[in-house]
């Protein structure tokens, strides 16, 4: 049972373009939605996260858009760079006492120079 | 030095062998986690521990066991390895929630069971 669905599985974007990765969740009790970035041979690292009290969060070229009614959230990478080439995972958790993350299946992003 | 370390980084073992993967952290976090990563499946939680005396099963604990030897050490064991346990294994840590739910991952252990 997959509680967080992520798409697309892979994405190719030209340098300078916008990369968009989408996730949908089922459990309305989720209250923390992070995105993790993973480079080959490394562990995932937190990129940006949002809580449902806001609809958008921006950090540099990275933006999370959150739609609570649709139970969807997305990562936008503006002015994509070859150094952004990595695997991106969305996740969700109830936070609080448990902080158990449920991960999406990942998106392999390739930014072509 | 890395805050979360895992040993070994790579391991090849045979079906039926017992194997232990180790995780150590210097972040001073109470919470530790073991995940497995498979292509197309993302990361799935195997076990987690909120302190030395607290061990909890995750979504895919069958065939695995863990030991929390100290606040800084959390080991994952495969009592009798099987080929479908071939995967990338990650340890992670987090602080008690106080608004910061970030998990910090180690570099991973690539396990191959032949």
The tens digit of pLDDT for each residue in A56-110 reads: 999 999 999 999 999 999 999 999 999 999 999 999 988 665 678 999 999 999 9
Average pLDDT value for residue range A19-32: 94
The predicted pLDDT at position A100 comes to 84
Average pLDDT value for residue range A27-45: 94
Candidate from A42, A96, A101 with C-beta closest to B103: A101
- Taking the C-alpha atoms of residue A76 and residue B108, their distance in angstroms, rounded to an integer, is 27
Instruction: Chain B: give the shortest CA distance to residue A68, in Å.
Output: 20
Q: Give the count of beta carbons closer than 10 Å to the beta carbon of residue B108.
A: 22
The predicted pLDDT at position A40 comes to 94
| CB spacing of A105 vs B90 below 8 angstroms | no
Question: Mind listing the pLDDT tens digit for each residue in A61-71?
Answer: 999 999 999 99
Question: Mind listing the pLDDT tens digit for each residue in B53-110?
Answer: 999 999 999 999 999 999 999 999 999 999 999 999 999 999 866 666 789 999 999 9
CA distances from B43 to A38, A105, B37 (A): 11, 7, 4
- Taking the C-alpha atoms of residue A92 and residue A94, their distance in angstroms, rounded to an integer, is 7
- Taking the C-alpha atoms of residue A53 and residue A32, their distance in angstroms, rounded to an integer, is 10
């Amino acid at each position: 049972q997959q509680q967080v669905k992520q798409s697309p599985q892979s994405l190719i974007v030209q340098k300078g373009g916008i990369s968009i990765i989408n996730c949908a969740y089922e459990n309305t009790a989720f209250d923390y939605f992070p995105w993790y970035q993973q480079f080959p041979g490394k562990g995932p690292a937190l990129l940006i996260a949002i809580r449902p009290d806001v609809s958008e969060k921006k950090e540099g070229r990275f933006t999370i858009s959150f739609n609570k009614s649709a139970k969807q959230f997305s990562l936008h990478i503006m002015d994509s760079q070859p150094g952004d080439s990595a695997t991106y995972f969305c996740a969700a958790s109830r936070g609080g006492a448990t902080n158990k993350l449920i991960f999406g299946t990942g998106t392999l992003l390739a930014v072509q120079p | 030095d890395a805050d979360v370390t895992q040993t070994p980084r790579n391991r090849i073992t045979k079906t039926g062998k017992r194997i232990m993967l180790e995780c150590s952290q210097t972040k001073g976090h109470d919470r530790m986690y073991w995940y497995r990563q498979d292509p197309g499946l993302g990361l799935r939680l195997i076990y987690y521990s909120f302190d030395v005396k607290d061990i909890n099963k995750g979504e895919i604990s069958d065939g695995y066991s863990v030991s929390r030897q100290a606040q800084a050490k959390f080991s994952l064991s495969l009592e009798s390895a099987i080929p479908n346990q071939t995967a990338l294994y990650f340890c992670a840590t987090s602080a008690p929630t106080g608004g910061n739910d970030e998990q910090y991952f180690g570099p991973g252990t690539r396990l191959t069971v032949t």
